[in-house]
Amino acid sequence: MNDRMMQAVLHDHYGGPDVLYLGRVPRPEPAAGEVLVKVHAFSVNGGELAARAGRIRLVTGRRFPQRVGLDFTGEVAAPGSGVTRFAAGDRVWGVLGRRAGFGSAAEYVTMPAERVGRVPDGLDLVEAAALPVATTAVTALRDKAGLRPGERLLVRGAAGGVGNAAVQLGRAYGAEVTALARAANLAFVRGLGAHEAVDHRGVRPADLGRFDVVMDTVGTDLRAFRRLLNPGGRMVTIAFDLARPAASLGYLAASAVHGRGRVRFFSGAPTREHLDDLARHVVEGKLRPAVDTVFPLEEVAAAHRALEAGGVRGKYVVRVAA
């Protein structure tokens, strides 16, 4: 077998989960300042589903085959020149980010060393794959919203990959956390630390009360949830309405200059500092991985299908290395 090639999850056109297949691509080599990581596991994220289905083709384009996979855990296979922080065998994690796009659903990935963090000792690398995107919750609550102890926090999509981390971190930051989730997941989000858990299908936004911070992972009805902010309140979203993208993105842009309570929209691109902060919360017992199901690499289409069906508790993780 040619050791310059590797397995990777690919798709040759847009469509449902069944367009995904395992193919062979050249194995990357680390450039100066990069590390080559042997991937042990990755999680399935909502943005990948939209990209694979062609809903954001203005961003992903029409060149195929395309890749999937946003985050990863693994071991350093080789450091590039100039890298002294990491050595072969070090256990690491990271998120590819906006510029790199997708591609962690593979046997190897390269990353700039300054955007890779160490996985805490004792944390299984497959379970740990549920956590790298939790850096998005760190950025949203700490950096964008400036969440303070004693404030009321509302988390939309609280049972999902970023939402479950936001519930845990909100509690760690000293906030009073209200979690919106499906009825079947209310006990799950209470177990994460939510002070109150509410069935999102059984309540109108206006009946939820007022909040200092709203953390949104859904992207719909942003105007209605923005109205829940107290004076000086902040709203952060990591999603927009894919059914009405132009109107949704237009509203996000307009909120920055009109009306009370700007809605802050961003996509995650964590630095080492974010990953180190994540690790610290894990070591202190304030954040734990929530893994719904682990799939083998050859069943990545089933993992996509499961996330599309809804109802996930935490993350669907795909194991790459045995």
CB 54 within 8 Å of CB 61: no
pLDDT score recorded for residue 243:
47
Residues 142 and 239 in one domain: yes
For residue 301, being part of any structural domain is answered with yes
Residues 96 and 159 in one domain: no
User: What span, in angstroms and rounded, lies between the C-alpha atoms of 108 and 53?
Assistant: 24
Q: Tens digits of per-residue pLDDT, 144-172?
A: 999 999 999 999 999 999 999 999 999 99
CB 315 within 8 Å of CB 43: yes
Residue 55's CATH number: 3.90.180.10
| Distance from chain centroid for Cα 264 | 17
For residue 186, being part of any structural domain is answered with yes
pLDDT score recorded for residue 144:
92
For residue 273, being part of any structural domain is answered with no
CB 72 within 8 Å of CB 43: no
Task: Verify cis geometry, omega within 30 degrees of 0, for the bond prior to 28.
Answer: no
Q: Read off the pLDDT band of 306 (50, 70, 90).
A: very high
Residues 54 and 77 in one domain: yes
Residues 53 and 124 in one domain: yes
For residue 275, being part of any structural domain is answered with no
pLDDT score recorded for residue 137:
95
For residue 122, being part of any structural domain is answered with yes
Q: Using the predicted structure, report yes or no on whether residue 245 has a pLDDT greater than 90.
A: no
Residues 221 and 149 in one domain: yes
Q: Read off the pLDDT band of 1 (50, 70, 90).
A: very low
% the chain with pLDDT above 70 = 89
**How many separate domains does the chain show?**
2
Half-sphere exposure (Cβ direction) of 89: Cα atoms closer than 13 Å? 0
DSSP state of 80: P
For residue 224, being part of any structural domain is answered with yes
Q: Tens digits of per-residue pLDDT, 26-60?
A: 999 999 999 999 999 999 999 899 999 999 898 89
Residues 184 and 104 in one domain: no
User: What span, in angstroms and rounded, lies between the C-alpha atoms of 283 and 271?
Assistant: 19
Q: Using the predicted structure, report yes or no on whether residue 254 has a pLDDT greater than 50.
A: no
Q: How many other C-beta atoms lie within 10 A of the C-beta of residue 218?
A: 19
Residues 202 and 113 in one domain: no
Residue of 179, 158, 156, 301 whose CA lies nearest to 237 = 156
From 265, 281, 301, give the residue that closes a domain.
265
Containing domain of residue 75, as a range?
5-130+290-319
Give DSSP secondary structure letters for 277-303: HHHHHHHTTS----EEEEEEGGGHHHH
Q: Which of 275-308 are b and which e, b meaning 16 or more Cβ less than 10 Å from the residue's Cβ? A: bebbbebbeeeebbbbbbbbbebebbbbbbbbbe
Residues 187 and 83 in one domain: no
Mean pLDDT computed over 226-232: 95
CB 161 within 8 Å of CB 137: no
Mean pLDDT of the chain: 91
pLDDT score recorded for residue 94:
97
For residue 278, being part of any structural domain is answered with no
Residues 11 and 125 in one domain: yes
pLDDT score recorded for residue 59:
84
Residue of 272, 318, 299 whose CA lies nearest to 71 = 318
Residue 244's CATH number: 3.40.50.720
